[in-house]
Amino acid sequence: MIEIQNVTKRFGARTALSNVCLRLDAGEITLLLGSNGAGKSTLLRCLLGITDFEGSIRVEGRDPIAEGCAVRSSIGYMPQSCGLHPGITVLEAMQLFAAIRGASADRIEVLVREAGLQEFSQTRVAELSGGLRQRLAFAVALLTDPRILILDEPSASLDAASREWLAGRLRAAAAEGRTVIVSTHAGEELLAAGHRRVILEDGRVVADIRNGQPRERQGTAVASAGRAGSARPLIRREIKDAIGNKWLIGYAAALGLLGLAAAANGIGSSAGLGIQTFGRTTATLMNLCLLLSPLVAVLMGAGTIAGERERGTLEHLLAQPLTRTRLLLGKHAGILAALSAATIAGFIPAGILIGWSAGPSALASYALFPALASVIGIAMAGIGLLISVTTRTAVQAQGAAIMTWFLFVLLYDLILMGSLAFTAMPIEALAAGLVLNPVDAGRVLGVLALEPDLYLLGPAGAYLTSSLSVGGTAVLLFGSLMLWTVGPLAIAVFKFALPLRRAAFAQRRALRLAALAEDRRARRTRTVVAMLTLAVGLNFASGCSSDDDRDDKKSDAATHAAVTPAMLEQGRTLYKVNCAACHGDTGKGDGPAAGVLKPPPRDHTDRAYMDTLNDEEIERVIKMGGAIKGKPLMPSHPQFKEQELHALVAYVRSLSRK
């Protein structure tokens, strides 16, 4: 069962869904009808938890935003545009999603046969007809025999026979007790199969028509605990795709050819290879690390998400039982593995030649170059990933990646030389620029490992080594590379998260900061309040203590009779410091923090409610916190003394009697 209550979704100034309320029961086929732009696909994405929304959705009792993996594990989803990578075969597509969702190989064979795709199992998705792609997408949706089926325009590109086949499968799924939701605007076969038609217009439900009672169920779909998907198939898929990546193939080939040329030239020269020092061969290899590796890495990283989005495959991946973080990190891990493997493979030919001519001892120094290229590449791949999640198209991502590479590799040095020519830049600024540039930091690290010569290090490197020593400089620069590796990746994860999650994080942080500020103000004023209490309330405190000794269960009337102006003033001060941020100065529950609290603060001017509480109950809520009254965000105040509690309760009582 799916419950949708007051769901609203906005894209900037445009409202895609407006206060949608529906209940979708098991055993029904619900058709979402409406023109293009009516909000059908947006509602399906909200059900999957792959877009944020306002309102409430419960899928089998679970929140699709807070429990997205559990919700999506019970849903089989067929996107409007097939959503499968065009470069993989039918069998590979089935195996990929089966591995993510934990489906068996036998299930793949059954579904391929039922969809009539046996003879196309080795055909690439891009080579299938539109109808066959839709059949394949439907087979993928059925891999785990899900309790809920969500299909977005499944009849697109299907002929009449295929639409009848699809309608029959949907009827069978509903008869087995499954919830079936289909977004469509064409196909009499599907319209005839539906038990219910929900018509959307401009994001609103304008009609909800039942064709009749759902058919008698032949079985019941058994609910089970949600199972998180695996990100390992994505890593393997990225590595396999990288084998055919033109950038990676060209990168490995360029490293191999140029490295061989540099090694052969060094062998033939009078100076020899000179791998252990900074000679001509070493300089060539270093340039390979500093020029090629960052370029290929940032381009591959930039295509991670932007490429999936442009191919129309990202939505299908997001609909799997994976968190966005695991999806992003899985794809990134695959790219890093492929990039590192290509780097090592590119340096192997020259390494073989160097080991054959100079002996195994030279290989230890030569190993520095693939290691350095890999470290710089990993850092730049993280920057590329950040570019990928913040750009809309693959072309934009590639352009931004090339500009980033140009900035770090070439423009940085040009700007630096221009600044030195016209201004006397402090050496500290030069050193800071070196540390903040991952490519330059890698260059100096390589020089330090081979030959820490002051001329080769440059002015900034020489300043760092004289200030921190060679070891300290190496640690600092390696730490800079690690920050460039982790920092952009962490920002990319944050940016890729749903806006609702980011808003919730910011809200919690704002509440914590507000609570700390209130606590500081309370500590500053508590001394003044205590002095005021001693000055004007000492006689009352003594009388109150005597009354407590005579009767511990005194009535509210006796308490009200004992209230003095000084006591109310003390209570007002305490209320303003500790309560007004949420309840407001007048107690109506309209304080500056009230808008972000759920449930909202209590209205203390509501006399009918306040009269249901005795003073002891109010004091208990103040001391122990609002959780005992269903207000978990109301903090506890165990530090209040008995006199302060009496004064605060008296003032709260006075608010409901004005």
Tell me the domain boundaries of the chain: 2-210, 232-497, 502-655
* Spatial contact of 147 and 221, defined as CB atoms under 8 Å apart: yes
CA–CA distances in Å: residue 484 to residues 300, 412, 478, 512: 16, 16, 10, 29
What is the SS3 assignment for 233-279?
A: HHHHHHHHHHHCCHHHHHHHHHHHHHHHHHHHHHHHCCCCCCCCCCC
pLDDT for res 545: 46
pLDDT for res 504: 46
Cα angle 178, 179, 184 (rounded to 5 degrees) comes to 130
Cis peptide before 601 (omega within 30 of 0): no
Among candidate residues 123, 5, 142, the one with its CA nearest the CA of residue 63? 5
Q: How much of the chain is in helix, strand and coil states, percent to nearest 5?
A: 65, 10, 25
pLDDT for res 562: 65
Question: What is residue 360's three-state secondary structure?
Answer: coil
CA–CA distances in Å: residue 151 to residues 68, 136, 264, 370, 428: 18, 13, 61, 48, 60
pLDDT for res 222: 43
Question: Which of the listed CATH numbers 3.30.1130.10, 3.30.43.10, 3.40.50.300, 3.40.47.10 matches domain 2-210?
Answer: 3.40.50.300
pLDDT for res 355: 80
**Pair of tokens at residue 171:** 């009827």
Number of H helices, E strands in the chain: 27, 9
pLDDT for res 558: 42
Residues whose CB is less than 8 angstroms from the CB of residue 580 and which lie 6 or more positions away in sequence, other chains included? 591
Reported as type and span, the H/E element at residue 585 is none
pLDDT for res 184: 82
- Rounded CA separation 67/128 (Å): 35
Cα angle 132, 133, 135 (rounded to 5 degrees) comes to 60
Q: How many residues does the chain have?
A: 658
pLDDT for res 417: 63
pLDDT for res 123: 93
pLDDT for res 459: 78
The pLDDT averaged over each successive group of 10 residues in the chain (658 residues) is 91 90 91 88 93 91 89 92 88 93 91 91 90 91 92 82 84 90 74 82 89 50 57 89 81 87 67 50 76 91 91 91 92 92 90 80 80 92 95 92 89 65 72 88 85 69 87 92 94 85 49 64 63 53 47 43 77 81 82 70 82 82 68 67 84 82
CA–CA distances in Å: residue 433 to residues 69, 374, 436, 461, 473: 43, 22, 5, 11, 14
pLDDT for res 217: 45
Task: Give the torsion sign (CA, 576, 582, 588, 592).
Answer: positive
pLDDT for res 387: 96
